[in-house]
Copies of this chain bind each other. A is one copy, B any other.
């Protein structure tokens, strides 16, 4: 056989990416083989190479794309002119919702950074830092306003991000709690955690 009936490059490309994400998250990047990926997509191993340059480049694409989208989505979701309290609430809600809806991408980006090398690794780290700085800026704004009581902005930011991202690892779509309920619980924890006593 060669070209198969009904085969369209765009669809195959999408299937490869989606399947790759799933396999990487469940087995790890190193443990996933291109043969396994090809088999799940319904191709021969060699055919993958019409769509990727190498296995490493596949991981790079997946991670850089995810980080880029996360940054732009965040900038849209958090209001630029508002109180720090409102900004922080918006940030928490955005982060949890975005991360739950793209759990696969998030887990991948968090667990496979060490499999990334060279230029791409540096780029991902830089983008992650940009994202962290958006939260740090909000916390600083709140401290200047007198609304937040925080000694160490960076520690607080890391703590909050770890807490929120952690949802990805236990969230169950069939579970008792809706995304909104989960968001509200976390908003309560975070806002009380940073709020200045009155």
Contact = CB atoms under 8 A, between A and B. Distances in A.
Interface in A128-163: 151-152, 155-156, 158-163
A53 interface: no
A170 B161 CA distance: 12
Contacts of A27: 114-115
A31 interface: yes
Interface residues of A, number: 36
B193 A155 contact: no
Contacts of A155: 177, 182, 185-186
19 contacts: A26-B114, A27-B114, A27-B115, A28-B30, A30-B31, A31-B115, A152-B185, A155-B182, A155-B186, A156-B189, A159-B163, A159-B167, A160-B163, A161-B166, A162-B162, A162-B163, A162-B169, A189-B193, A192-B192
